Structure 1
Amino acid sequence: MPDRLPGYRPPARWLHWIVAVAVLMMIPAGLVMTQEGLPRPVQDTLFIFHKNLGTLLILVILVRVIYRLTHRPPPLPDSVPPWQRRAAAVSHGMLYALLVIMPISGFVRVRAGGYPIELLDRLGFGPLIGKSERLADAASALHAAAAFLLIAVLAVHVAAALQHALIRRDGVWSRMWPGRG
């Protein structure tokens, strides 16, 4: 069991955990805000929270993707079998793709639906997209499908991380943990 594997650089770790915490707040808000019978003030608050945090996430995810493209991740330890390396590569690729698809499809759905994004409106940004029910419906369908796929891929990602942290104890978990020295 290695004591210290090469870890991710601090910017990669912080970007990972900022996105992780934000996404873990967005998922329940997104699932609850669309439920029938929810009191309107609660629903409105959740929609505003979800839309505006999603808008901020677009920027953070863009920075994260650029950082990832310009900084190679540290290698996995030799003890990780080839099939797990491939699975990790595929799941990370899916996570990045879904993290880009989700806020963009949400943005398109809201703006094409003619709804406000309060943060952008206060900053003076125009809608950027004309109102289109057809486009809003397509973006909504993409957003919903990608959301459930994201939840599934995140569940696998978290399960794999916990397996490395609690069962294998091979140092893979600590490479991304923000408290690492």
Structure 2
Amino acid sequence: MTERLPGYRPPARWLHWITAAAVLLMIPAGLIMTREGIPRPLQDALFLFHKNTGVVLVPVILARIAYRLTHRPPPLPVSVPGWQRRAAGLSHALLYVLLVVMPVSGFVRVRSGGFPIELLDRLGAGPWLAKSERLADIAQGIHAAGAFVLIAVLALHIAAAAQHALIRRDGVWSRMWPVGGS
């Protein structure tokens, strides 16, 4: 049965779900836009979406990290085994690291590759980096590897959430759901 647990506060919930929605849209956009044979107009639209959503997401990620550093999450139920607690802590830490690494490596890849980031350009932000194919290639490698690590960690995170919601029904899922709870 569902145990009544203290939930995350509304700011944590909304920052989580805004981030989740953006990342879950950016992953397929990023995977599709880099494939060979994609029609150029679709590829251009996906690049625009991916880059500019990343720009919008950065302040959300920074707010989320600041909030997390100043507000402890509610405790897990005592029924969660120690190994799952450690796995949850490790996966959350890795997600936060990836939420920083991905936009930074994407920014470095695009700017050092000499490409625009339209939203930043409209805001008057300079390129901040000189063109460097070597740096662009390194950043692209980091971004590509990070994408696959992010996909794997997100798959585990979603599987764990589903397990708590559908199988264990232990109240862990409802703590982060954006409506209800305390």
TM-score by length of structure 1 reads 0.98
Q: Residues of 1 paired with 2:70 and 2:129: CA distance?
A: 31
Q: Residues of 1 paired with 2:42 and 2:148: CA distance?
A: 23
Q: Residues of 2 paired with 1:38 and 1:64: CA distance?
A: 34
Runs of 5+ unmatched residues, structure 2: none
Q: Residues of 2 paired with 1:3 and 1:99: CA distance?
A: 31
- Is 2:91 the partner of 1:95? no
Runs of 5+ unmatched residues, structure 1: none
Question: What is the one-letter code of the residue matched to 2:30?
Answer: G
Q: Give CA-to-partner distance per residue, 1:127-172, whole Å, 9 cap, x none.
A: 1111111110000000000000000000000000000000000000
Q: Residues of 1 paired with 2:43 and 2:152: CA distance?
A: 25
- Is 2:48 the partner of 1:42? no
Q: 1:146 — aligned with what?
A: 146
Q: Residues of 1 paired with 2:19 and 2:180: CA distance?
A: 18
> RMSD value over aligned CA atoms?
0.8
- The runs of at least 4 aligned residues of structure 1 exceeding 4 Å deviation read none
Q: Residues of 1 paired with 2:123 and 2:94: CA distance?
A: 32
Matches within 5 A, 1:57-96: 57-96=57-96
Q: Give CA-to-partner distance per residue, 1:20-68, whole Å, 9 cap, x none.
A: 0000000000000011111111100000000000111111101101110
Matches within 5 A, 1:3-42: 3-42=3-42
Q: Residues of 1 paired with 2:135 and 2:63: CA distance?
A: 27
Give the secondary-structure state (helix, strand or coil) at the position aligned to 1:145.
Answer: helix
Q: CA deviation at 1:3?
A: 4.0
Give the length in aligned residue pairs.
181
Contact 1:58 1:104 in 2 (8 A): no
Q: CA deviation at 1:2?
A: 4.5
TM-score by length of structure 2 reads 0.98
Give the secondary-structure state (helix, strand or coil) at the position aligned to 1:144.
Answer: helix
